[in-house]
Chain A
Amino acid sequence: QVQLQESGPGLVRPSETLSLTCTVSGGSISPYYWSWIRQPAGKGLEWIGRIYTSGSTNYNPSLKSRVTMSVDTSKNQFSLKLSSVTAADTAVYYCARDSVHNYSSGWYWYFDLWGRGTLVTVSS
């Protein structure tokens, strides 16, 4: 049974870079798309971006200038870096696996497997 586990610092200083890693266990990281999603306390979900195991990426336009995602297939891990963080970036961060389908109306990605999430607080 495939499982995802987020890891990384729970506290990040303002203006610094948030770094998280998602470890995939119980199965191979290839050949799938993998996403990061976040959720501020008491608020809704926000998709941050996705990466394919080849390394190709697609980011949320609203975060694109600050986001970098990478993948290490040898470690079955993928990672998120979010630069120049502010208090508004405080949230629970989830990693997830994308299921991809191509229909006549286009390509569709949706999340079929999620990690449990990790809280990242931005504060001095």
Chain B
Amino acid sequence: SYELTQPPSVSVSPGQTARITCSGDALPKKYAYWYQQKSGQAPVLVISEDNNRPSGIPERFSGSSSGTMATLTISGAQVEDEADYYCYSTDSSGNHWVFGGGTKLTVL
């Protein structure tokens, strides 16, 4: 079965840049999506199609993809950005959609 691999945790100080990676064999050919999930809440889409930011998402959130790795970047991370972040994509067939294991971002 297809898998997306994320680091379990990332920690930065407020104002620093946080980078969260997502590795998957099909990412060179398939888009990645990123969700933010704060404690006790439903996930929220923060990046679509590798690097598109939905309306209402702060400009400090950006995405990129190169080879088998997609990256979510939070430039000037804020305390309110503390959350779990999940990448989401599909295998090369486009039929098997999966989430990455999630990365806990700590900003302190």
Residues of A within 8 A of B (CB): 44-47, 58, 60-62, 94, 101, 103, 105-112, 114-117
Contact = CB atoms under 8 A, between A and B. Distances in A.
5 contacts: A46-B99, A60-B96, A61-B96, A94-B42, A115-B42
B63 interface: no
B101 A44 contact: yes
Interface of B: 1, 29-31, 33, 35, 37, 42-45, 48-49, 54, 86, 88, 90, 94-102
Contact of B31 (A108, A111, A115): A108
A24 B46 CA distance: 23
A61 B49 contact: no
Contacts of B98: 47
A45 B33 contact: no
A45 B86 contact: yes
A101 B95 CA distance: 14
B29 A110 contact: no
A106 B94 contact: yes
B94 A107 contact: yes
A116 B102 contact: no
B42 A117 contact: yes
A58 B88 CA distance: 17
B66 to A, nearest CB: 16
A110 B96 contact: no
A61 B99 contact: no
Nearest to B30: A105
A46 B101 CA distance: 9
A114 B102 contact: no
Nearest to A61: B96
A19 to B, nearest CB: 21
